[in-house]
Amino acid sequence: MSDEERTTTDWREVAAALVNDDARTVYAQLVLGQEPDLGATQRAVRRAEQSVQTLSRVGLLDVDGRTSGRVFRDLLAAAAPPKREGVDRFLVDGRIVQYPSNPDEQQALLQRVAASALQPGEVVDEAEINERLSAFHDDVAVLRRYLVDAQLVERTRSGTEYALVT
C-alpha cells in the first residue's frame, strides 16, 4: 500500500487510532525517535505490532514506519472552508463585511442586494427599505445611497418611496 493510499482525510479515523492507549503510546515513542515498546511479554509485543499497523493504516506512519505529518496537513486541507469567489468574498452570512474597491465588483454586489431586497414593480417606503437593507449591512443609509447612485434603486423626489429600476 503506497503512502498516498494510506493517508486519510477523515479526522475520526485518526482520533479513533489515538484514543487507544497502546497506539498513542507507540506513536509518542516513534515521534520521539524510540522503538515501540509496550513491554517484553509476547502479548505486549503483539499489542505494539497492532498499534503500528493501526497507525500506518490511518497515515500517522509512512511506508517505512516513520512518523509523518502528512496526515495532519491532509486533514487540515480537507477541513478548509471553500474559497469564496466573486461577490461572495465580500459577504459573511449574507452580510456585507467590505465594499469592493473594483467598480464592477461593487456593481455586482449591489445588484445582488437590490434583487434580494426588492421585487420588480414593488414600491416600499423608507422604513421598509431600511428594514430590508439592515439584513445586509448596519449602515442602511450608505447602502441605500449606493443602490440609488448605482441606478439599481430609484426613489421619489420626496425620498419617501423606493423601487427597483427596471
Residue 88: what pLDDT?
Answer: 94
Residue 131: what pLDDT?
Answer: 97
Residue 5: what pLDDT?
Answer: 45
Instruction: Say how many residues make up the chain.
Output: 166
Residue type at 68 in one-letter notation: S
Each of the 166 residues of the chain gets a pLDDT tens digit; together they read 444 444 566 889 999 999 999 999 999 999 999 999 999 999 999 999 999 999 999 999 988 889 988 889 888 888 888 888 999 999 999 999 999 999 999 999 999 999 999 999 999 999 999 999 999 999 999 999 999 999 999 998 888 899 999 8
Residue 11 and residue 60: Cα distance in Å, rounded? 11
Residue 103 and residue 84: Cα distance in Å, rounded? 19
| DSSP conformation class of 104 | H
Rounded to 10 deg, the angle between the 126-133 and 140-149 helix axes is 100
Give the CB-side neighbour count of residue 124, counting CA atoms within 13 A. Answer: 18
Q: Pick the closest to residue 145 from 99, 101, 94, 102 (CA basis).
A: 99
Q: Which CATH architecture has domain 86-164?
A: Orthogonal Bundle (1.10)
Residue 12 and residue 18: Cα distance in Å, rounded? 10
Annotated domain spans of the chain: 3-79, 86-164
Residue 7: what pLDDT?
Answer: 55
Residue 80: what pLDDT?
Answer: 81
Residue 4: what pLDDT?
Answer: 46
- Cα 96 to its chain centre, rounded Å, is 17
